Amino acid sequence: MRPTPWLVSVTAVAVVSDSMLLPFYPQFFAERFGVTDPAHVGSYLAMSCLVVMLALPIWALLARRFGTLQLLVGTQLVAGGLSLSCALVTSLPLFWGLSLAMLVAKASYLLVYPYLMHFEPQERHATLIGMLSVVVHAGGILGAIVGGLVLELWQPARVFQLMAVSDILQVAVCLLLLSRGQVPHAAPATPTSPSANGAILRLGVVMLLFTFSAYLARPFFAQYWALASGQPSATLAGAVFAIPGGVAVALLAFDLLGRRPSGAAIVIPLAIGLTGLLLQASGEVIAILAGRLLLGWALFRVSVRLEVRLFQLSTPKRYASDFSKIHIFQGLGVLIASWGAGRLVDTQGLASPFFVAALGFALCALAYRLLLAGPSSSQAQPTDPVSART
């Protein structure tokens, strides 16, 4: 039994779970706790990102000692219990504490990503990264639709009950793999040059700008769509929110047919994404839909190419640690975006995040040209992939 499909399924379940409330936090806080301040939503999302960002390096260290699958069994059981607690709590401060603790436990599933790279040869990394990117986007589609349906048909607390179910499913998959002996052996140590470490940090700066721009317009998109379209349906808003995920699925299918575009440049995709953001800022329904399509194309191409670059710069022994470093930069991008989105909307209106995100894409393209677009001679050449414990 190959572990890769099962580990991909763990990622898929986790992404769906994490995506259910992402477009609907303003509505969730308003209905559950009577809080309508956009700055409060932005602060909560920023703090959520911060705790995940700080937790992941700790989980990476523990996984090196105890094993990734063994760690996931414990952390996801804790996450499931905390999810059920979030479904019951009625105090806003207590909800903050329990839900943030839940996110700390859930953050460990992110280690599945670098763990997976040990099971595939180097030449298949781009395909696997593309597949995982589609899992993230497709999970966002399903999560947004499920979240919209739950908010329309049931109480918001049901979302956290579904999250608990997803945590139990992840535990079941990990226990299955452990029972079948699907635990890789330790990898030999491989040296990493200072130039490679510097390249990882430069890539992190580019990732920060890209992630900030990609996430800035997300928290209030459902509200923006409802205002622009005159359609209050949360399910419809979730479907429109998930359009970029549908584009990613289509692109992966196109790539698997052997038509993968050559090259690793990200400037042109960023320009297309910038155009998509400006179209959405217009407030016209057709322009918003067209902008979602363009943005989806750009997000898929840029994210896959940047992540391929990460594993080119790293080595199998350092996949988890380098991934956790990059995730800190990505987490900072999400944190700044989450905190800034609430304040932008509060002071400048619902369209302002699209304009600022477009500027962020332009800065990302500039940073890429200055920091990463030169010759790649300084990259660390990865060793042949091995089955290694992260």
Of 31, 56, 255, 44, nearest in space to 159 by CA? 31
Q: What's the pTM?
A: 0.65
Residue 82 covered by a domain: yes
CA–CA separation, 205 and 134 (whole Å) = 24
The residue behind tokens 């191409």 is 301
Question: CA-CA distances (angstroms) from residue 104 to 47, 64, 76, 236?
Answer: 11, 18, 10, 31
Tens-digit pLDDT profile for residues 59-92: 888 887 888 888 888 888 898 888 888 888 888 8
DSSP code of residue 378: T
Q: Supply the CATH number for residue 354's domain.
A: 1.20.1250.20
Residue 173 covered by a domain: yes
CA–CA separation, 279 and 276 (whole Å) = 5
CA–CA separation, 278 and 295 (whole Å) = 10
Which segments of the chain have a pLDDT < 70? 1-3, 23, 119-127, 130, 133-134, 137-138, 140-141, 151-153, 156, 181-197, 255-264, 315-317, 319-321, 373-390
Residue 385 covered by a domain: no
Residue 197: what pLDDT? 65
Name, in order, each residue with C-beta under 8 angstroms of 389's C-beta and a sequence gap of 6 or more.
63, 64, 67, 68, 183, 184, 185, 186, 187
Range of the domain at 356: 3-371
Residue 386 covered by a domain: no
Residue 151: what pLDDT? 67
Which helix H or strand E contains 137, and what residues bound it? helix 125-153
Residue 388: what pLDDT? 33
* Polymer length of the chain: 390
Sign of CA dihedral 313, 316, 318, 320: positive
Residue 385: what pLDDT? 29
Over its C-alpha atoms, the chain yields an Rg (Å, rounded) of: 20
Residue 23: what pLDDT? 67
- State how many domains the chain has: 1
Angle formed by the axes of helices 194-216 and 285-313, nearest 10°: 170
Specify whether the backbone of 258 is left (phi greater than 0), alpha (psi in -120 to 50) or beta. left
Residue 379: what pLDDT? 42
Residue 104 covered by a domain: yes
Residue 383 covered by a domain: no
CA–CA separation, 29 and 25 (whole Å) = 6
Residue 379 covered by a domain: no
Residue 101: what pLDDT? 92
Specify whether the backbone of 230 is left (phi greater than 0), alpha (psi in -120 to 50) or beta. left
Residue 390 covered by a domain: no
Name, in order, each residue with C-beta under 8 angstroms of 284's C-beta and a sequence gap of 6 or more.
228
